Every structure is written in C-alpha cells, then in structure tokens.
Structure 1
Amino acid sequence: MPDEVKAKTSGVRMRRIARTIAAWRLESGQDQVEVAKAVGWSNAKQSRIETAKLPITPADVMTLALHFSRPPDERDALFRDAQTAHSSRWLEQISADAFAADVREYVALESEASEVRIFKIDVVPGLLQTEDYARAISKLGSAPDDEQFEGRVQARIRRQARLQDEAPLGVRCVLTEAVLRIQVGGRETWLGQLRRIAELMELPNVDIRFLKSENGAYRAMGYPFSVLGFDDNEPDIGYIELLYAGVYLEQKAEVQPYVEAFDELWMSAEEPDGSRELLMEIIGAAE
C-alpha cells in the first residue's frame, strides 16, 4: 500500500495510541525533550508520535510504557493496538493497482470501524455482494489486467469477514428499490444476490431497509454515501463515492449533514418486515 494511504488508513487507531502516549507524558510531568532524551530518540520523533504524524511501532510503545512505568495491563493493551495497526492487513496483499488509493483507504477504514451506515441508489454495497455479482460489477469498470480484476473481486468478498468476526461490524443500510430490480450479471447472478441479501438480513448486526419507488422522491436523491463510526469516541468519517475516486469528510460540520440525511432516509424506508416482504416479492416473481 502506498505510504500516504497507509498513513491515513491507520489514522483512527494511531490517533488513539498517540493520545494515550501524550497523556502518559503529561501525567509524568515531563516535557517532550526530556522524554526523547531519556529513551534515546530525537525531539522531533517524540513530537510526531504524539501527534500521530509518525506511526508508532510496538517496540516504541513498549519503550515508552516502561519509561513511564505504566501498569502491565495498560502497557500490553497499547502494545497490542500498535501490533494491530502495523499488522499486514489482507488489503495490503491486493495489487496496489487494483484499487484507486482512496478506495483502498475506505476499505481499510472500514476494517477499523465499529459501524457503517450506507445509502445506495443503484448497486448493492460491496459488503453485501456475492462473488458472482462482484465479478459482474467489476467487469463494468475499466478493463484491468487479470491480477487487478481478481484483486477487486477478492477484496470485495474478503471485506465481508467483518460481518461475522468476533467483534462484528454493525451495518445499517438503506437501498432504493432500484438496487433490487436492476439485473446485474444476468438473471441467476441477480437472483443469487437477492437471496444473499435475504440471508444477511438475518444477522443481528445487519439491518437492511428499502425505499419503495412508489413513495416518490426522497432525501439525497442521486447522492450515495457512507458514514463510518468508530469506538472510543473517535469522530465519524463520511465518504462520497465518485466514478473513479471518492471524497472523505472528516470535520464534524461536514459529516453531520450526511448523518442527518441518513437518519431521514432510515425513517422513510420500509420497516424490517416491510423490507423483507418487498425483497421476497421480487424474488418470488422472478423464480
């Protein structure tokens, strides 16, 4: 993964680690110069660690924890956080050319999120796609080489592990009825995708609702978006997907309108029973 992408995608966890390190130092009564001299690195490095501009290594976490005489459980917890932030994520094994940098960034942020709110108007979100559907969607883009194509498909599928891991990603998703009715990849691929959505709706951490076409206009027409939520009071991050790129929204004033738009869409969508009824009606009519 390119350095600039890696730096931002690990940002949520690294900012949390940086705040903890800074709190340890302030509690000790030392300034950055004193700490840097004591542990044997530059003042600039200590400053960059505390501002999350330099991703801290697990070894450096241990060095600082010992210097500040932190309790073993606190030290070990932050050490594990740093290990996770530096671990070789599956995304890094996908060809760097298979995704635009900002799309890779989104997927990596998604891997750290606790919840994602998704609004789509014409395509099933990657988190919910079957492999056949993902292949069909990938073929609609530019013509990548074999490695790039396979990388796109496998990345879409492997993202779904978050739905059923030890700390599953919470998903709230609003889809327009058009998402269900547009046939992608042929009839069998389309039906397989609809059945997959029905299966995912049974998961306790996944809530998928639909906006019926007959209900007319709705908030955010023509503007699909996602909002990623994180634990430990980390701020939400908004994401607007464009054709070949994406836009990130990190300031609260920028993200809040999308949070409010999603809440309004959520209230306008069919309740769980009505959403399942619509989905099964479409499946039944096609079988």
Structure 2
Amino acid sequence: MGELESTARGRQLGEELRRRRERAGLNGVELARRIGWSPSTVSRMEAGLGNHSEVKLTAYLAHCGTSAPDAAEVLRLGEPGEDGYLVRRSVLRTLVLHESTAVGIRETAPLLVPGLLQTEDYARAVMHLPGSLTEDEIAARVAVRMDRQTLLRRRWPPRFTYLIYEPALRCPLGGDRVMHEQMLHLVFLSSRPQMTIRVVRLSDGARAAHGQQFALMEYADHGPVLYAENTFAGMFVENREDVETSRAFLDGIAGDALNEGQSREFLAALASDYDRPDGGAP
C-alpha cells in the first residue's frame, strides 16, 4: 500500500488518534515535538494515509497519555485485514465518520425505512424487534439514531438518494399511527433539494426481489465506500470490483423504480391508507 493511500481502516484509526490527541489538549505540532517527529507525520497518521507500525502508534498514544486498555483498543483498529474490507462489530462511530464526510450517499432499503429517514416512534419500533433490549437500551439507541439525523439538516449535507422497496413501506411496524406519521415524514423529506426518495415496486423488476441492502458513499478526496450490515456486524468495502458491481445494481434498481413524483404520490397514498378510521392495512 502506498504511503499516500487512504483506506476506511486508516481513516477510522486516524480519527481515533486525533480524538486522543485533542483529549490530551495537544495540537499536532506540540505532539510531534514531544515525540521527535515532523508535524507532517502526525498529519498523515490522522488523515489515515499509509501504514504505520505498532511501535509508531504506541508512541503516539503514549505521548497523549492514553491508558493501556484504551491504547489496546485503538491498536486493534490498526490490525491488518483483507485489503478493501473493514468489518466492525460496533459500527456506529465508523459509520458516522463515513456518513459525515461523504458528498453523496445512495442506499437501498428492502425491508426497513433507512435509519436517517426514520421517525422517532418508527425507530423505537425497529429497536423492539430483537426482543432482547431493555427500555433504557432502546431509548439510548433511538436517541443516537435521532442525533445521526442532524446530518440531514447540515448547511451543506451530502446528496442523498434512497431506493425504498415496497415491502419496507407496507410492513406495519408500530401500528397504523406510527406508519402514517412515517409515510408523511418521507413525503416531507422528499421535498428537500438534497434528497431523492424513490419507491421500488415489487412488480417493477426482477431486481426488486433480490433484497440487497447497502449504502454507497462517495467522497471528494478519496474513493467510494460501500457499507452493508446485519444483526452481528457491519462491513465497509473499498474493493473496486465489489463497489462497481454494487453501483451497477443501484443503477439497475433506479431504472426500475418509480420516479420522484410518482414515489411522492405513492407515499402520500400509503399515508392516507394507514390513517383509515377502521385501521385497515394498505
């Protein structure tokens, strides 16, 4: 790997290093002077550029006063894995890092409304699905999900494109009232200039039956990152072949989906259906 090559793994490691430096009240020049490095070395490490040895990482952390357990956690982030793939059991910090620095995000949603588009009540219904979380744990996770949505209100947000499959809109999570509010929320979001929401009808193409859920994030200063998750872990993919395959799949699904106006009408009709006095499902 070249010295100037940035990877998802390297950027996450760099972000964690920077957090420790700032926690120690040091700027990059001060830390470099303490260790005996050039300031550019610290900058490259925090930007995720190049490979850095465990000795070098340990020196950085030691001069930030990082505790041994905390240092061990950071060092694990630097452990080598298969090139182009980063798997994390706890993905939130890595996901937020990649979301917040993206200039464009395209996502498919076969079974659930995407997290950044969820209402608070819908998110709570989703969190209840595993059946193993306490109410306090659910409340904490919902709060984090709502905090992530500040990205939508940023002055210069990424360009979002969501391809939401029909089953995700017809599964009545939380009941009719929750779904009614969620459909109205999607209609409202779809009117924002940086937001495109398109519905994929099951009858509109064979690709709709594949049910692949992933997000493709694009960046101004480095290559795209593909993100997919399941119940146990999340995976960040930079492998060029996989990224291009997923990009082609997204293009195919977009070709099958309703256009923006049709999608908005479909969502509004579903909102009305969920608001039926008899509580009938759409």
Q: State TM-score, norm by structure 2.
A: 0.68
Residue 195 of structure 2 corresponds to residue 236 of structure 1: no
Residue 38 of structure 2 corresponds to residue 50 of structure 1: no
Unpaired runs of at least 5, structure 1? 16-34, 58-98
Of 268, 280, 285, the match for 2:273: 285
Residue identity matched to 1:127:
L
User: Contact (CA 8 Å) 1:10, 1:109: kept in 2 or not?
Assistant: no
- Cα separation, 2, equivalents of 1:152 and 1:235: 30
- Against the structure 1 CA distance between its residues 163 and 269, is the aligned structure 2 distance closer, same or farther, given a 3 Å change threshold? same
Alignment of 1:177-192 (within 5 A): 177-192=166-181
User: Contact (CA 8 Å) 1:240, 1:248: kept in 2 or not?
Assistant: yes
* Superposition deviation, residue 106 in structure 1: 1.4
Equivalent position of 1:203 in the other structure: 192
Residue 273 of structure 2 corresponds to residue 270 of structure 1: no
Residue identity matched to 1:41:
I
* Superposition deviation, residue 7 in structure 1: 6.7
Alignment coverage as a number of residue pairs: 221
Residue 138 of structure 2 corresponds to residue 138 of structure 1: no
* Superposition deviation, residue 144 in structure 1: 2.6
- Against the structure 1 CA distance between its residues 219 and 196, is the aligned structure 2 distance closer, same or farther, given a 3 Å change threshold? closer
* Superposition deviation, residue 39 in structure 1: 4.8
User: Contact (CA 8 Å) 1:131, 1:153: kept in 2 or not?
Assistant: yes
SS at match of 1:189: helix
Equivalent position of 2:76 in the other structure: none
User: Contact (CA 8 Å) 1:103, 1:245: kept in 2 or not?
Assistant: no
Alignment of 1:68-107 (within 5 A): 100-107=89-96
Equivalent position of 1:110 in the other structure: 99
* Superposition deviation, residue 215 in structure 1: 2.1
Residue identity matched to 2:254:
W
- Cα separation, 2, equivalents of 1:285 and 1:149: 28
Q: State TM-score, norm by structure 1.
A: 0.67
Structure with more helix by fraction:
1
User: Contact (CA 8 Å) 2:90, 2:234: kept in 1 or not?
Assistant: no
- Cα separation, 2, equivalents of 1:116 and 1:171: 5
* Superposition deviation, residue 40 in structure 1: 5.9
- Cα separation, 2, equivalents of 1:153 and 1:238: 24
User: Contact (CA 8 Å) 1:119, 1:175: kept in 2 or not?
Assistant: yes
- Cα separation, 1, equivalents of 2:149 and 2:203: 31
C-alpha RMSD of the superposition: 3.4
Measured against aligned partners, the alpha-carbon deviations of 1:246-276 in whole angstroms (never above 9, x if no partner) come to 2210122221211121111112111111111
Report the identity percentage.
27
Equivalent position of 1:18 in the other structure: none
SS at match of 1:119: strand
- Cα separation, 2, equivalents of 1:113 and 1:269: 24
* Superposition deviation, residue 128 in structure 1: 0.3
Equivalent position of 1:9 in the other structure: 12
Name which structure has the greater RCO, CA cutoff 8 Å, separation 6+. Answer: 2
User: Contact (CA 8 Å) 2:205, 2:256: kept in 1 or not?
Assistant: no
Unpaired runs of at least 5, structure 2? 1-7, 19-28, 61-87, 276-282
Of 198, 207, 212, the match for 1:223: 212
Residue identity matched to 2:272:
G
